[in-house]
Each structure stands twice: as structure tokens, then as C-alpha cells.
């Protein structure tokens, strides 16, 4: 491969919201459950979840203030309703490695796969625009967000049926 060419990377496996919720029920530890919900519903990176503190939650405005995400950029994201009650369990006292292995154990995908799954859900099932998901993920470039999105065969078929 010539220098500067993009390598084709395999995208992480994703799970649906129904699969996520079904597997989430098996988790009894509130902090672990919250960490996974932040990864899926808030589409947060593992480092962002581990750095999240109670003072970063603005319940009055309904936002989570993510400090120094990738590229050392801050961003505000709306609090997803399913996540709201669990925020009382902050901070998350797990290591990056522990969250990765627990994610594989419970969901069959790494923690980053939860972020991909959440982005895919917002686009394909919740009707968010690519631009809105870009803001949620904290991407500077729309092309990066496009990599994070997965179109399920069922979703494509449903859309096709809607058109015709």
C-alpha cells in the first residue's frame, strides 16, 4: 500500500438498543451499569467516562460537560433520559482495561463498540441527523462520524420499503 493511502479498517460489531438493554439487566453493580450506559446512550469514549465527575453534570440545563475529550476539546451533550438517574453513581471507579473486559464479557463487544452502537441507534432508529450525531460524538470532521455509523440490512430494507 502506498504511503498516505487509507487502510481499510474493520468496523466494530454493533448491538441494538434492545440487545443492550437485555444484557444490561444482568449487571448488578451500579457504577458499571452507568459506565456502559454513558458509552451507549451518551456515545462517550472510555477516557471521557473515566474522567466524568459529578460537578460536570448540569441538571438545570440538562447537559453533561465533557472535559478534554479527544483532541483536548470540551463539549456539552444533552443528558439522555435513561442515563439521568444513574448519574448519582459518579465518579466511575474502574480502569480502562476493566471496562473493556467487562464490556466484552457482558455485550460481546469492546467498550468502543458501545459508542458505535449508540451512534448507529441515534441515526437509524431515533432519526438524528448525521450532523447531530457528529456533535454528540465530538468529531471535528463529518467524515469521521460517517465511519462510526452502521446501516443495518433491516434498516436499509425498511427505508427502501418506505420509499417504494
In the set 41, 94, 122, 148, the catalytic residue is 148
Cell of 123: 441515526
Active site residue 105: no
In the set 53, 59, 70, 105, the catalytic residue is 70
Rounded Cα distance between 45 and 148, Å, is 12
Q: 13 with 55: CB under 8 angstroms?
A: no
Active site residue 116: no
Active site residue 139: yes
> Which residue carries 458499571 as its cell?
32
Determine whether 33 is exposed, middle or buried from the number of CB atoms within 10 Å of its CB (0-12, 13-18, 19+).
Answer: middle
Rounded Cα distance between 150 and 2, Å, is 28
Active site residue 70: yes
- Phi and psi (nearest 5°) for 76? -110, 135
Residues forming beta bridges with residue 77, ordered by sequence position: 64
Pseudo-torsion of CA 128, 131, 137, 140, nearest 10°? 180
In the set 23, 33, 112, 150, the catalytic residue is 112
In the set 41, 45, 94, 116, the catalytic residue is 45
In the set 41, 94, 115, 116, the catalytic residue is 115
The residues carrying an active-site annotation are 45, 70, 112, 115, 139, 148
Amino acid at each position: 500500500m502506498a504511503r498516505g493511502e487509507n487502510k481499510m479498517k474493520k468496523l466494530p460489531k454493533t448491538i441494538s438498543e434492545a440487545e443492550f438493554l437485555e444484557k444490561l439487566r444482568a449487571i448488578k453493580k451500579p457504577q458499571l451499569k452507568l459506565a456502559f450506559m454513558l458509552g451507549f446512550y451518551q456515545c462517550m469514549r472510555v477516557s471521557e467516562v473515566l474522567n466524568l465527575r459529578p460537578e460536570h453534570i448540569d441538571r438545570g440545563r440538562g447537559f453533561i460537560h465533557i472535559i478534554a475529550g479527544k483532541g483536548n476539546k470540551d463539549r456539552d451533550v444533552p443528558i439522555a433520559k435513561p442515563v439521568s438517574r444513574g448519574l448519582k453513581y459518579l465518579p466511575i471507579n474502574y480502569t480502562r482495561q476493566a471496562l473493556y473486559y467487562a464490556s466484552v464479557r457482558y455485550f460481546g463487544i469492546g467498550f468502543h463498540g458501545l459508542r458505535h452502537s449508540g451512534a448507529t441507534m441515534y441515526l437509524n432508529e431515533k432519526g438524528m441527523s448525521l450532523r447531530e450525531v457528529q456533535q454528540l460524538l465530538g468529531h471535528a470532521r463529518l467524515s469521521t462520524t460517517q465511519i462510526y455509523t452502521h446501516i443495518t440490512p433491516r434498516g436499509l430494507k425498511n427505508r427502501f420499503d418506505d420509499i417504494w
